[in-house]
Chain A
């Protein structure tokens, strides 16, 4: 009976793979959008085990955390590509259907699967893919109207990580990530910073207050949970490998501290996959944009740089990144994909935008307007990028947008540039 059941299940999985590939191919040929989701979800409906089958010949790396998933996934993909073909859900479709869809594109020469995973689904995807590495970036408040609070996610991870054979690459500066990872057998710690501390004032293990020392280290005096000694350390623009005693200068095309942190996490993961740090470093340095993020587009006489910021921690990083930009556009929506609740705008300190030229747009621009009002930031309310570009000269605009506002912005600037001579940098 069990044997028959096993055979039936194997046939179903095989069938799921074939049908999934046909659907993916049909979408590719027709040029219709939505294929990244459809093929994966059909395959999953035929066989819930399909990912197990698809991932078994691959070295799998899973990337999760609140911020930096898509970028880090891209950087690891670039690094592992030195060893052969890699499949990846590079466009950020990080739910099971998107991951299955990416895995469906693997061929006989594919060596690795690099998958970004939604925080909630990490235990399930770990269970199905038996990953070689799991990369855990950070945890902070994000879309609380539809996702669990961060300690609950850390708790889910902690349980799953206690049973894994994977090597976990974990951010030593995030107490929630450290607590979650400390049950794993093999952990490589990387100290890449976590400037946002408002979700980790208290110890995730025992609840007592954490002592902090200038962002350099943290410790719970009551239970002893503390920042672990890290093998990989990000210090300004330098990455230290404390095991080999080497240091590498990070010269990335991607801007900002958060991206340097993503790069160190990626290089640490690549090291476990036997890609030497200097090789991974050279590959990651070449990445200039990730699905439009951080890319600059010519648009109606302006150069428009697009930045995605979708929760307080990522706004904190992004406002730092644009501190020298003279003209800033903030675009804010609150659709399902963004989280319907705009409350978190009040967790962002916008005061660094005082005395700068600020434009505000998006479906929930009044929420942003009220927030800026209380932070003493003057601004102009606009309907669109076109409205900004139609009056006066704006040589360089930095557009900071949350998820669906970002998608609108990229459609706007790409729509015009694709017909003209311009291209993304």
Chain B
């Protein structure tokens, strides 16, 4: 961090905030503050330029048309690109995921260029992929399983520059048995809404990348209970093993 504040830039909340996306910003801010780190949140509406100096950038989900509008504006503004080049932490969710990639197929049937920050190309599905998602995270990242809810119209193919975030146990994810992507300090997922509320360890990974320091543990009672309830619902216990009780 350039100073002692952690700056979180919420990119285009007017276009990319569909269903609880602000939860990711709230969770990052809350978890940083619990560790005594002061947080500043910047809401960068789509009429404004994206500053290159924030520590974490968040791009949420968006409706079809909003995603295309966001894509036009992102390409006209070098801010996010500069932030990526400087190794800042960037997270994309759903539409935000597709926008970080090199290109995506829009609902208008045209191919749109993405921000080109992530080596990923997205296509359009015939049917929406909707439902609970459970994935085993790439062992390199040393995280517990990820759980979330997906609701999207896309499939994503990763190029050699990016790695899948997880192997899909339940759900559709990228469409090839994998879910999400990461590349340097850029991370993306189809778990929409507040993915970081369900996955506090993933939130802490981003905070660790951003602050460069190890984080103390904090009270996650309710988040853990929520995770357990969701895993149990899918018939899994922690660490992704199928439970004997599962129906």
Q: Which of B16-24, B76-84, B112-120 contacts A (4 or more CB under 8 A)?
A: B16-24
CB of B86 closer than 8 Å to a CB of A: no
A225 to B14, CA, bound (A): 18
Contact of B229 with A366 in the complex, beta carbons under 8 Å: yes
Contact of B149 with A374 in the complex, beta carbons under 8 Å: no
Band of interface residues on B: 35 or more
**B:168-208 near A, CB below 8 Å:** 192-194, 197
A-contacting residues of B (Cβ < 8 Å)?
13-15, 17-23, 26-27, 30, 45-47, 63-66, 69, 130-132, 149, 151, 192-194, 197, 222-223, 225-226, 229
Known: A146-B130, A341-B149. 6 other contacts (CB 8 A): A145-B149, A202-B14, A340-B149, A342-B193, A373-B223, A374-B30
Contact of B63 with A201 in the complex, beta carbons under 8 Å: no
- Among A150, A341, A347, A370, which residue has its beta carbon within 8 angstroms of that of B151? A341
B-contacting residues of A (Cβ < 8 Å)?
141, 144-146, 149-152, 198, 201-202, 207, 209, 340-347, 364, 366-367, 369-371, 373-375
A373 to B19, CA, bound (A): 19
- Among A149, A198, A209, A369, which residue has its beta carbon within 8 angstroms of that of B17? A198
The answer to whether A341 and B45 touch (CB under 8 A), given A144-B151, A202-B66, A370-B197, is: no
Contact of A209 with B225 in the complex, beta carbons under 8 Å: no
Q: Look across to chain B and name the residue whose beta carbon is closest to the beta carbon of A141.
A: B19
Q: Which residues of B contact A141 (CB under 8 A)?
A: 18-19
A141 to B45, CA, bound (A): 19
The answer to whether A202 and B18 touch (CB under 8 A), given A369-B225, A370-B226, is: no
Shortest Cβ gap from B30 to chain A (Å): 5
- Among A201, A345, A366, which residue has its beta carbon within 8 angstroms of that of B222? A366
Contact of B46 with A346 in the complex, beta carbons under 8 Å: no
The answer to whether A366 and B20 touch (CB under 8 A), given A145-B130, A209-B46, A343-B194, is: no
Q: Which residues of B contact A209 (CB under 8 A)?
A: 14, 45-47
A–B pairs, 26, beta carbons within 8 Å:
A145-B149, A145-B151, A150-B63, A152-B64, A201-B14, A202-B66, A209-B47, A340-B131, A342-B149, A344-B20, A344-B193, A345-B23, A346-B21, A346-B22, A347-B22, A366-B225, A366-B226, A366-B229, A367-B226, A369-B225, A370-B197, A370-B222, A370-B225, A371-B23, A373-B222, A375-B26
The answer to whether A151 and B63 touch (CB under 8 A), given A345-B20, A374-B26, is: yes
Contact of A343 with B26 in the complex, beta carbons under 8 Å: no
Q: Which residues of A contact B225 (CB under 8 A)?
A: 366, 369-370
Q: Look across to chain A and name the residue whose beta carbon is closest to the beta carbon of B48.
A: A209
The answer to whether A149 and B63 touch (CB under 8 A), given A343-B23, A369-B225, is: yes
Shortest Cβ gap from A121 to chain B (Å): 19
A144 to B30, CA, bound (A): 26
- Among A144, A151, A370, which residue has its beta carbon within 8 angstroms of that of B19? A144
Q: Look across to chain A and name the residue whose beta carbon is closest to the beta carbon of B12.
A: A201
The answer to whether A343 and B66 touch (CB under 8 A), given A141-B19, A144-B18, A198-B17, is: no
- Among A346, A364, A366, which residue has its beta carbon within 8 angstroms of that of B193? A346
The answer to whether A347 and B19 touch (CB under 8 A), given A144-B151, A149-B63, A207-B69, is: yes
Shortest Cβ gap from A196 to chain B (Å): 12
A209 to B194, CA, bound (A): 25
A141 to B62, CA, bound (A): 12
